[in-house]
Amino acid sequence: MTTPESSLLGKPTAYPDAYDPALLYPIPRAPKRHELGIDGALPFTGCDVWNAYELGWLDARGKPKVALGEFRVPADSPNIIESKSFKLYLNSHAQERYDGPDALRARLVEDLSAAAGAPVSVVVVPTTVSGHGQVEGLSGDTIDDLPVAIDHYGPPRPDFLRADGGEVVEETLVSHLLKSNCPVTGQPDWASLQLRYHGPKIDRAGLLRYLVSFRGHSDFHEQCVERIFTDLMRQCRPQRLSVYARYTRRGGLDINPFRSSSGETQPGNPRTVRQ
């Protein structure tokens, strides 16, 4: 397997006009988890929720059909799927004939599960479904307006995170200031983050400084969320923790990694105003 940097992923690419599952580019999760000290059992459960807004195919008579796609890749799968390859793969169905959405879904499940190395959930949502994808706000206390002076924008600084060892709380915190960079193209990735925890009260100013310290950091969405989860567990020691990032879409796709210490594997899929 070539490295992402030496592949075609970050270079101009002709869009395929024929179905091709070989376009999918899996990337092993293990090396980045090793950097975080995760080499055995995972300290979290969860999944990566993908939403596709450019899903199309031809029906049996050759008439174009369109839909929305929701994909859930389990966090314990061996691989992530690089997003540009995912986009190219989805577009390779645009001129392919299917008897119906169920036939398309079956092929998507087969190909994506093979790339991820674990069963991937696929839902093909007709554009006629009323109410699907309505904009919602992330619940929780927003920390972005804190009067905090910030002068560090990378690399991530887990030492900014601290908790008061006295008061134990259960709260949900939200920030819309998470930004990192794609390790392949260098393009910015923007996200809103929801943090739910039970444990010693986390210092909000330190949390905000920590999140902003990702601005110059290069990692895939899934890897950034796992780093945030791991750093919070080590620095603040909550009894329960869930981290959910809702990234803005690129190329008709948004990626939303969710990690939890409480056994949750299937979060909701709230479309935020930035998505």
Give Dmax over CA atoms of the chain in angstroms.
Answer: 67
Instruction: Please check if 84 is assigned to a binding site.
Output: yes
Instruction: Please check if 11 is assigned to a binding site.
Output: no
Active site residue 151: no
Active site residue 182: yes
Instruction: Please check if 83 is assigned to a binding site.
Output: yes
Of 48, 111, 189, 219, the catalytic one is 189
Q: What's the token pair of residue 24?
A: 């999918």
Instruction: Please check if 81 is assigned to a binding site.
Output: yes
Sheet holding 253-260, edge to edge: 121-126, 64-74, 45-58, 253-260, 240-247, 188-202, 163-181, 141-142
Instruction: Please check if 170 is assigned to a binding site.
Output: no
DSSP codes of every residue in the chain = ---GGGSSTTS--PPPSS--GGG--EEESHHHHHHTT--SS-S-EEEEEEEEEEEEEE-TTS-EEEEEEEEEEETTSSEEE-HHHHHHHHHTTTT-B-SSHHHHHHHHHHHHHHHHTS--EEEEEETT-TTTT-B-PPPSEE-TTS-------SS--GGG--EEEEEEEEEEEEEEEEEEE-TTT--EEEEEEEEEEEEEEEPHHHHHHHHHTTTT-B--HHHHHHHHHHHHHHHH--SEEEEEEEEPPBTTEEEEEEEESSS------PBPTT-
Of 47, 182, 224, 236, the catalytic one is 182
The span from the CA of 26 to the CA of 7, in Å, is 12
Instruction: Please check if 82 is assigned to a binding site.
Output: yes
Which residues does the annotation place in the binding site for NADPH?
83-84, 250-251
Catalytic residues, which ones?
Answer: 182, 189
Which residues does the annotation place in the binding site?
81-84, 221-222, 250-251
Which residues does the annotation place in the binding site for substrate?
81-83, 221-222
